[in-house]
Amino acid sequence: MTDTAPTRTRRPGSTVKADGARLASRRVPLPTGRTIDPFSLAGDDGILMADAGRILVGVGTGLTITLPDGLADPVGVDRALADLAALECDDRLPSGTSSLGAVLAFGALPFDRSAPAALIVPATLYCRESDGTEWATEMDGRDDTPDQVRERLVAIAASHRPGDPGPTGTRVVPRSDDTTFEGAVATAVGAIGRGELTKVVLARRIDVTLDRSPDLAALLRRWRLLEPGGTLFSLPCPDGQFVGASPELLVERTGRHVRSRPLAGTTDRFPDASSPLPSELLESAKDTEEHRLVVDAIRYALAPWCTDLTIPDTPELVHLHNLTHLGTVIEGTLRDGSARAMPSALHLVALLHPTPAVGGVPRAAALDLIARLEEGPRGRYAGPVGYLDGKGDGRFVVGIRAMTVAGHTATLTAGVGVVSGSHPKTERDEADLKFMAVFDALAPGVPFDTSG
């Protein structure tokens, strides 16, 4: 990517550059001027997170904060937040302009809690708030005027290749055949029947070979039209670029307010609004039980940290472009001034992940079965994806409806919740629907075909 600062990597505990100078940054409001296209600004290897309320783009890498033992190491999580909080910033943004701190760290974290993880502080951070207000934070002592910052970001976005309609030729190769996947579901149902666990989420992967590498800016624009209610994301990871449109909020913290919206329970969504399937989802014993397990787990995890927790008695229908899920909005107020410090967004992620929406119940038994039945580690799929600031505020979604893009290949993963009432073929069909939710954005107009 153009205009990148030198990458500096450090383990938790260090707040200085290799030359001993302290890292510093400056946040400025951006005056009105030529439009900055956030998708082109992020390009094929930058950072982007966008939802209905805010668009964030990271250009280049100013600093990488590592968590060598992942979310499973509470000391490492503490140090990561301390490192971020220690970064200095000359904040010139008028008070009340944004609820976010000036310096943000982004991460697409692995599904495996103990796998090494990293948070990236961009060299340049661009933000467009829901009311249209724009601001930027820059590392390494840049002293451009706000007008110069805008023009430089406009130039970076303009240097991105023009958008295209997407690949026209694809080859889809499942990493496990239909019979093998259905057999894994049957094995899980058997384990549930023997009382070894109550629920497990099994994932299946496919590799899509394209006739050309996808233009991620164009892909994300298409995805935004398909899933306007989702959170778009694009972040670099060791295997390529992790890109998706997640419908599921893992956790969001703003001050003392905490919010989550788990999804579990799925059916088709047909263009015909009279289709009975979505309303029948609310009456499905299998799907409502699957959803209840997720809500109960989040309730159990958050309750000790909150003075109050609001959880509706029944879920709502969450409509996506080709699927409908059961969803529940969970909101609470975090305790402040207790013997335990108020948890940051990253601490809450470590507390919750993986929820039964992507793991299972009990967690340990489900993760053991996942390791035995799936065809390899999940990587970033179903891991936490999001950002936090030095105050501890932040927002993380679940990395589903996503793919890892590397050159001409995109790897897609889809998971299904298996409970006592699950049927192998039905679960395979559900996985295909979830693949199609991603494939429709990757290769619009191309039929989804797993025959190779």
pLDDT string in tens for the chain (452-residue length): 333 333 343 333 334 443 434 567 899 999 999 999 999 999 999 999 999 789 999 999 999 999 999 999 999 999 999 999 999 999 999 999 999 999 999 999 999 999 999 999 999 999 999 999 999 999 876 788 999 999 999 999 999 876 666 677 788 998 989 999 999 999 999 999 999 999 999 999 999 999 888 999 999 999 999 999 999 999 999 999 999 999 999 999 999 999 999 999 998 865 455 555 567 889 899 999 999 999 999 999 999 999 999 999 999 999 898 899 999 999 999 998 655 689 999 999 999 999 999 999 999 999 999 999 998 999 999 999 999 999 999 999 999 999 999 999 999 999 999 999 899 999 999 999 999 999 999 998 888 877 65
Which residues, listed in sequence order, are joined to residue 325 by a DSSP beta bridge?
266, 318
Which pTM value belongs to this model?
Answer: 0.93
C-alpha 359/C-alpha 377 separation (Å) is: 13
C-alpha 23/C-alpha 62 separation (Å) is: 9
Domains of the chain and any CATH numbers: 9-158 (no CATH), 170-442 (3.60.120.10)
Active site amino acids: 199, 248
Cβ(267)–Cβ(324) below 8 Å:
yes
Question: What phi, psi does 370 have (nearest 5°)?
Answer: -60, -45
C-alpha 107/C-alpha 105 separation (Å) is: 7
C-alpha 345/C-alpha 395 separation (Å) is: 7
